Structure 1
Amino acid sequence: MKQLLYHLFDHNTLDREQARQVLLRMAKGEYNESQIAAFITVFLMRSISIEELSGFRDALLEMRVPVDLAEYNAVDIVGTGGDNKNTFNISTAACFTVAGAGYNVVKHGNYGATSVSGASNVIEHHGVKFTQDIDVMRRSLDECHMAYLHAPFFNPAMKTVAPVRKALGVRTFFNMLGPLVNPSMPKRQVLGVFNLKLARLYHYLYQQTDTQFTIVNSLDGYDEISLTDNFKVINRSGECVLTPEELGFTRCSEPDLFGGDTVEAAAKIFDNVLENKATEAQINAVVINAAYSIQTCAPEKSIEACIAEARESIESGKAKAAFKKFVEINS
């Protein structure tokens, strides 16, 4: 690791195989926490290269516990985190909104590393017990269109770096990797990123696959469509910048999406959204992210039609029913 750090400190990058090897060795416990922290810090000082990101991804996918849910042709809806906005759980609420609309979702998530409440925090708060049982996941998909993969259960390599990530408390390249290493390897993905540089990296990576993808970024730095600013959407059809008003939404402000200072506060907002009792800004943020997820599953549909489906899922109670059934099956 010492030679590797000197190599990086001299402004050199790793090739794909070097990146793969270092993460494999990190997972085996060959480096101490100080070395891991120093290594991670390099990528806070400069941008990660496509070769490095690809190599890290190769290693994590190689070490994952595979999950075969291919027959469900599900979508994953995930943000990188690390945008320092501490929003409520928008993408998790969008997952249940999409499930309520009848589309299969297999979400890969974790506890919050840079925010108060990650997907695993809010789901566990409701009594859900995470599982590796494929039969439970299949039953969950069959009965409520939603399965959840708690990252530490399926990416054991992440366990060695979890204490360092938590201690650092800042965005790291592991935030970038999380959305790329869903153990079920879904062929449909909605990826929220915190800046356009990362959007381009993801775009390059996903162009090399057969995945139906949508990459979203709010231009003011949210790793999802926040409706606080104009936002960029990238998919196989191309890329565009849209305003909230173009799609019939009222622009909101940062405090409108604040998730609170505790998991309990974030969970309350999450519940209010699914019960259609939240503020207009909170519901709209979930609706627009769910809408682009629906369009990722059904590219032939207009975004306006997908917005209507997402809104109907919440207003009719289908999203809430999907979550209730999910908790029942997974508790």
Structure 2
Amino acid sequence: MTYAELVLPLVERRDLDPERAGALMRFLLGGEATDAQIGGVLLALRVKGCTTRELAAFAAELRSHAALLPADPDGLVDTCGTGGGVPSFNVSTAAAFVAAGAGVRIAKHGNRAMTSKCGSADVLEALGVPFGGEPEHLAHVLEAVGLVFMFAQSHHPALKHVAKARRELGQRTVFNQLGPLLNPAGARRQLIGVYDPGLMRSMGEALNHLGCERAYLVHGLEGLDEVSPSGPTEVVRVWHGRVSGEIFEPKDFGLEPLDPSALAQGETVQEAGAILKEAISDPESPRAKAILPSAAAAIHLGGIAETLPEATERAREAIASGAAVAKLERLVEESSL
């Protein structure tokens, strides 16, 4: 198909069938499209919005180009979000260490910051975690540590063809929605922070279509792409074939609302690293309390706690015992081998 044939339905706000959606993604990833053409497609998709079928078809095409880990996906949990919410420190990354410290197998997928000061890759790099290794080595790290970080650019090299256009646009695109659907280790349980609650249902339905077992797609109602420790969180729940909506409150985790200042981000990558380390090592810190709902949600998804309050206690124990920060230390050690 020509560029005009691919983009015309989007301009006319017509939805794409899976075949045409796959063809459009192949065009974007093929290396022949100009930055102007890519930008035009991304803007047209942003204006039209993506359906469940389109997202699933885009994700399936991207997965077919990915460098996958030879790992057992059973029980694996990812805490990769869309990015782009109200600025906060790296809550989902910190929550991954706490959940791993509580016994959940974590396959964390992430990238450098696109629109924020510090993405998961940036903060982990500041903490001494090397990334970008071969899939076989990362599978070994997962087996040895119970947690692995997978740098999106290493596993989805075809995305380099759209990177410049995304940067020049300087705004969220369909690739923010797609990132959490592309876990290279095949994790079928996911905690996904979403910057826009209007996107959560279609993303949840797409995950369900792609074989997800369990997921919480979350949007704190003050604009967070995290489970809010301060107030209500809108949730789309994917649970073994069913997709439903609900609201989380801090009390659902057995917690009192926390002042939003506990979520403030650092000004530099080094500050972001220090904040994350504090959050996973000092149980009395407001930072640690801020990550408890997200960590508890990941623990609940992992199946080692039956209720959210029980999962919250597991998260507290992982921080207080040193198990969470020990996972960071082991990750640095094993990833460096």
Settle same-fold status: TM greater than 0.5.
yes
Give, in angstroms, the shift of residue 300 of structure 1: 5.9
Name the residue aligned to 1:55. 57
2:85 corresponds to 1:79: no
Change in 2 beyond 3 A, CA 1:71/1:20 = closer
How well do the aligned residues superpose, as a CA RMSD in angstroms?
2.1
Distance 1:223 1:46 in 2: 22
Structure 1 residue 116 corresponds to structure 2 residue 117: yes
Partner SS, residue 147 of structure 1: strand
Alpha-carbon distance in 1 for matches of 2:130, 2:59: 27
Q: How does 1:161-310 map to 2 (within 5 A)?
A: 161-208=162-209, 209-233=211-235, 234-236=237-239, 238-276=244-282, 279-280=285-286, 282-298=287-303, 301-310=306-315
Kept in 2, the 8 Å contact 1:225–1:285? The answer is: no
TM-score (norm 2): 0.90
* Structure 2 SS opposite 1:325: helix
Aligned partner of 1:283: which letter? Answer: A
Residues 1:138 and 1:59: Cα distance change in structure 2 (over 3 Å): closer
Q: How far 1:67 sits from its partner (Å)?
A: 1.6
Superposed displacement of residue 73, structure 1? 3.3
Moved over 4 A (4+): none
Structure 2: how far apart are the matches of 1:181 and 1:126?
A: 25
2:332 alignment counterpart: 327
Which runs of no fewer than 5 residues in structure 2 stay unpaired? none
Are the structure 2 counterparts of residues 207 and 8 from structure 1 closer, same or farther at C-alpha, using a change threshold of 3 Å? closer
How far off is 1:330 after superposition? 1.3
| Cα offset, 1:99, TM superposition | 1.0
Q: Aligned to 2:184, what secondary structure does the other structure show?
A: coil
Q: CA deviation at 1:274?
A: 1.8
Q: 1:89 — aligned with what?
A: 90
Shift of residue 120, structure 1, vs aligned partner: 0.7
Q: In the alignment, what sits opposite 1:127?
A: 128
Q: Describe the superposition over 1:83-115 as per-residue Cα deviations: whole angstroms up to 9, x where unpaired.
A: 2x1211111111111111122111111111111
What count of residue pairs does the alignment treat as equivalent? 329
Pick the aligned partner of 2:24 from 22, 25, 35: 22
User: In structure 2, do the counterparts of structure 1 residues 136 and 74 end up closer, same or farther at CA, with 3 Å as the change threshold?
Assistant: same
Q: Secondary structure at the match of 1:78?
A: coil
CA distance in 1, matches of 2:284, 2:93: 15
Runs of 5+ unmatched residues, structure 1: none
What is the deviation of 1:18?
A: 1.3
Residue identity (%): 30
Distance 2:55 2:162 in 1: 16
1:72 shift after superposition = 5.6
